């Protein structure tokens, strides 16, 4: 897990105020004789993991099929794709009811985690452009949080192969009482970073995750992958993160 972030903020005049909210960065632009503030980068970037940072959805689906075979249940891709972005215990309950399985949701989750952890320890399938953008944000000092419904034991092997300090905050599904699409995970990440969610850019690939980030007040950069995502009031879309640089992110931010 990442170390707690230092929320110290330097104010005008060089005064230091611990625990303050870190704002988005702005620059003064002269336009027609008038000065206006222009956002130059978000206060923080809040990353989804499965399908956004890493393409692990095939690992989950493969493990679900193996579970169905083991217990003589039924499974198909249409059912599997309904789980993209969901809280794991909700997914466990869905699998119990639709496969069906004679197991409790927590038992199903643990069996799924056994399978996907083994796979990700062998190979981490990065999404195109994601690791490069994350490294560039780290180099420029832009705070980042990982906000995922996967549990800590699945997240740990992925964090181990990233440079230290890639994420200042990590929020996993087993750390929150209400998972996505509830705003709690994104609100928790922003609170721990000491930033205003309205000045953050969340990166998501699913409708479930997008609803969570929107409800928290974030602008959501949606990079759809396995499932289509409908337009939304605080959603902007990109086909890929390839060649996206930190300087590009300000253009995606929507007014609070």
Cis preceding-peptide flag for 181 (omega within 30 of 0): yes
Q: Are 83 and 45 members of one domain? A: no
Q: Are 247 and 146 members of one domain? A: yes
pTM, entire model? 0.81
Per-residue pLDDT of 158-177, as tens digits, reads 999 999 999 999 999 999 99
Q: Are 99 and 222 members of one domain? A: no
* pLDDT band of 256, cuts 50, 70, 90: confident
Q: Provide the pairing of β-strand 219-222 with 235-237.
A: parallel
* Structure-block tokens of residue 98: 């639709």
In degrees to the nearest 10, what's the CA dihedral of 12, 252, 214, 143? -50
Per-residue pLDDT of 6-21, as tens digits, reads 333 322 232 222 333 4
Answer whether residue 29 shows pLDDT above 50.
no
Mean per-residue pLDDT for 85-100? Answer: 94
Domain boundary among 74, 90, 122: 122
Q: Are 62 and 178 members of one domain? A: no
Q: Cα(232)–Cα(152) distance, rounded to whole angstroms?
A: 30
Domain boundary among 122, 149, 176: 122
Q: For the domain that residue 147 is a member of, what is the CATH number?
A: 3.40.50.1000
As to burial, measured by CB atoms within 10 angstroms (0-12 exposed, 13-18 middle, 19+ buried), residue 198 is middle
Q: Are 151 and 219 members of one domain? A: yes
């Amino acid at each position: 897990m990442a170390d707690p972030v230092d929320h110290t903020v330097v104010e005008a005049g060089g005064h230091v105020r611990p625990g303050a909210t870190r704002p988005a960065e702005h620059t003064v632009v002269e336009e027609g004789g008038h000065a206006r503030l222009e956002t130059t980068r978000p206060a923080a970037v809040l990353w989804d993991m499965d399908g956004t940072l890493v393409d692990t959805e095939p690992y989950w689906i493969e493990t679900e099929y193996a579970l169905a075979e083991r217990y003589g249940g039924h499974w198909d891709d249409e059912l599997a794709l309904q789980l993209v972005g969901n809280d794991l215990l909700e997914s466990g309950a869905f699998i119990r009811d639709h496969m069906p399985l004679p197991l409790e949701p927590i038992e199903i989750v643990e069996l799924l985690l056994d399978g996907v952890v083994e796979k990700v320890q062998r190979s981490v399938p990065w999404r195109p452009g994601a690791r490069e953008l994350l490294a560039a944000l780290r180099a420029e000092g832009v705070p980042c949080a990982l906000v995922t419904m996967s549990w800590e034991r699945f997240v740990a092997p992925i964090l181990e192969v990233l440079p230290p300090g890639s994420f200042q905050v990590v929020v996993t599904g087993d750390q929150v009482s209400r998972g996505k699409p509830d705003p709690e995970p994104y609100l928790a990440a922003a609170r721990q970073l000491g930033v205003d969610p309205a000045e953050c850019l969340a990166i998501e690939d699913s409708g479930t995750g997008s609803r969570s980030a929107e409800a928290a007040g974030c602008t959501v950069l949606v990079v759809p992958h396995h499932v289509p995502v409908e337009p939304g009031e605080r959603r902007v879309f990109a086909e890929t993160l390839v060649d996206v640089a930190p300087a590009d992110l300000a253009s995606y931010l929507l007014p609070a």
